[in-house]
Amino acid sequence: MKPDHECSAPGSSSASTASARFDALLRLARRLSGLSICGVATFAGGDEPIQLEPAPPSSIEEALSPLIAHARISQSPLLIQETTPCPEPLICFAGYPLRADTGECLGVLYLAGTTPRSIDADLQLSLQDIADSVAQIIIQAQAKTEETLLALAIQGSGTGIWDRDLSTGRIHYSAAWKSMLGYAANEVSNRIEDAFARIHPDELEQVTQSMQAHISGQTEQYQVEHRLRCQDGTYKWVNSRGKVVSRDAAGNALRMLGITTDISKVRSLSERLQHNIELITQLTDQVPGVVFQFCSQADGTGHFTYLSAGVRDLFEVTPEQLQQNPTLLDSCVHPDDLEVFNQSRAHALSEACIWHIEYRVQLPRQGLRWHLGEARPQCKADGSIIWHGMVTDITERKHVERELHEFASMDALTQLANRRVFMAYLKTEQARIQRRDVSVSSLLMCDLDHFKLVNDKWGHGIGDRALRHFSDILRAQLRTSDLAGRIGGEEFAVLLSGAGSFPARDFACRVQHALASQPLRVDNQEIHLTLSIGITQLAQQDPTPDNALSRADTALYRAKQNGRNRVEIT
């Protein structure tokens, strides 16, 4: 949040209701002191006042400025009377610092005159009382400003607040909550029955059970994902979280506060990933959110104007630390992502467009995590931009994406590479041979002998077990540089990178020996499997990998023709 040293009470819209009291206090100060010049000065980081309210003549303002600046840093009222020199045309001056309870100077109440005037002890006390009252007006106006900033940050993040009175069954919603579902302020009642009627029928039982479990004290908090009916009759996915904040002496829940967040985009993304709803629910349940508001100044500097408490979980720092030093975020970003992260911020700032990025962070306690950052800009007349947004943890979603990639490249039954992946790898190896990056590589085609008889006698379930059994044996013989894949049915292929004919034959014999010594056991019976293998080498003159594949197939066919359970090389 922008550190606002400027007083917001005099002349600002957030303090319009207090302006009458403010003017009355100034009139009282003039009458008591007999001094014609009276007002309040405010500052913005420097020593010189930036605003005098009401504004004095320019000739008087020039003389007032150094006196007000001195009064601001004074621990007691600054009084200049007849015997003390005063900048012309002033003859007397009284400046009272306006301080908050924390000691912060909010401004200066000043009085001045061009004619002699004595300020006795009684008058000093009266003026101090007036100064204290003016300070309270400023403090109240600033509190209203902070509430407005908080409301903007929450509204910009797509999050609404609800407050439920459990004793009466009444529930109150914030304006942001109603707006999120397209309702006007007068279109949502506070009856709990209407609240449950807006829940999608498929999730109603889940919501009511989760709510009751928390109210009865079985869970630490209420949290559930479900759909809510919008004003136009459609449904929107939301994440509702809440907590009982007060109970009576018997432990009965009295009041419950919570927030509802629009997660429609997250759900849509999950559907595009074609993942099941249980994993997505588990994912989004663990996504902690940070609602924030950030002010980018025209001079290139910036600061947070609001940060929710979730920043402790996502970045392992406090909101106060980030408000004092926003660059702490940069130190959390993974070094490999820092350039892209900075580029995304610079682009969003220069174009005043939506900021959206997925990036990694390295945290002291949690280690490597993935974050999704999104924010919408609000351009101000002074050239600054206020960003309303949210950061969420998407680490689990990234894990799901990696698993989906693995599933797409793997044969489901044997957990070996599928045909598409194996052929792509074979094509890459062929290119390496032609570039002479690798001097020699061997291709093996393997086929389980009489596999149809296994299926016919034992059934396809046992046949699948036999394929998995052989896959485990084959995988145990592979080096890290080798790749085995299931080409189809009971046919397998192996690529031995950097291996010539003799190492390839040794490999084939080891696989046959291991298969012979480890029969498949089914109901105290043993099923003995044998294997025919054809071997060829990848050649530089081969235009495509299909040539080597054809040669290996020919060798495999010869092994079967010559009695099976053999190794043939071509």
Nearest to 111 by CA among 38, 40, 61, 42: 38
Query: Largest alpha-carbon pair distance within the chain?
Result: 127
Which segments within 297-341 are labelled E, that is strand?
A: 302-307
Eight-class DSSP state of 125? H
Query: Is residue 267 in a domain?
Result: no
Pair 93, 109 in one domain = yes
Query: Is residue 163 in a domain?
Result: yes
Q: What is the pLDDT along the chain (570 residues), one digit of tens a residue?
A: 233 333 344 444 444 556 788 888 898 898 998 888 899 988 765 555 556 777 787 778 888 888 888 888 888 899 887 666 778 888 889 999 998 888 888 889 999 988 888 888 888 999 999 999 988 888 877 766 665 555 555 555 567 889 999 988 899 998 889 988 999 988 999 999 999 999 999 999 999 999 999 999 999 999 999 999 999 999 999 999 999 999 999 999 999 999 999 988 877 776 675 554 444 334 333 445 788 889 999 888 899 988 888 888 899 998 889 989 998 888 899 999 999 999 999 999 999 999 999 999 999 999 999 999 999 999 999 899 999 888 999 998 888 877 766 676 788 899 899 988 899 999 999 999 888 888 899 999 999 999 999 999 899 999 999 999 999 999 999 998 899 999 989 999 999 999 999 999 999 999 999 999 999 998 888 999 999 999 999 998 988 999 999 999 999 999 999 999 999 999
Cα 375 to the chain's mean position, in Å?
Answer: 11
Query: Is residue 351 in a domain?
Result: yes
Backbone angles phi and psi of 454, in degrees to 5? -65, -45
Pair 142, 163 in one domain = no
Pair 529, 383 in one domain = no
pLDDT at 533: 96
Nearest to 555 by CA among 450, 438, 443: 443
Interacting residues of 278 by C-beta distance below 8 A, sequence separation 6+: none
The residue type found at 426 is L
Pair 459, 320 in one domain = no
The CATH number given to whatever domain includes residue 342 is 3.30.450.20
Pair 462, 519 in one domain = yes
What is the three-class DSSP state of 33? helix
Contact between 221 and 288 (Cβ < 8 Å): no
Range of the domain at 467: 414-569
Pair 136, 71 in one domain = yes
Total count of domains within the chain = 4
Pair 426, 547 in one domain = yes
pLDDT at 51: 65
Find the helix or strand (DSSP H, E) in which 32 lies: helix 19-33
Cα gap 72→263, rounded to integer Å: 49
Q: Which long-range contacts (CB under 8 A, 24 or more apart) does 143-147 make?
A: 144/14, 144/15, 145/4, 145/8, 145/12, 145/14
The residue type found at 298 is A
Contact between 138 and 22 (Cβ < 8 Å): no
pLDDT at 321: 92
The residue type found at 227 is R
pLDDT at 63: 85
Residue count (the chain): 570
What is the three-class DSSP state of 252? coil
pLDDT at 47: 54
pLDDT at 285: 36
CA–CA distances in Å: residue 406 to residues 272, 403, 488 = 17, 5, 19
Query: Is residue 278 in a domain?
Result: no
For the beta carbon of residue 76, count every other beta carbon within 10 angstroms. Answer: 10
Pair 149, 50 in one domain = yes
pLDDT at 264: 87
Pair 307, 352 in one domain = yes
Pair 17, 114 in one domain = yes
Eight-class DSSP state of 16? G
Pair 430, 553 in one domain = yes
pLDDT at 10: 43
CA–CA distances in Å: residue 80 to residues 16, 27, 56, 72 = 33, 21, 19, 15
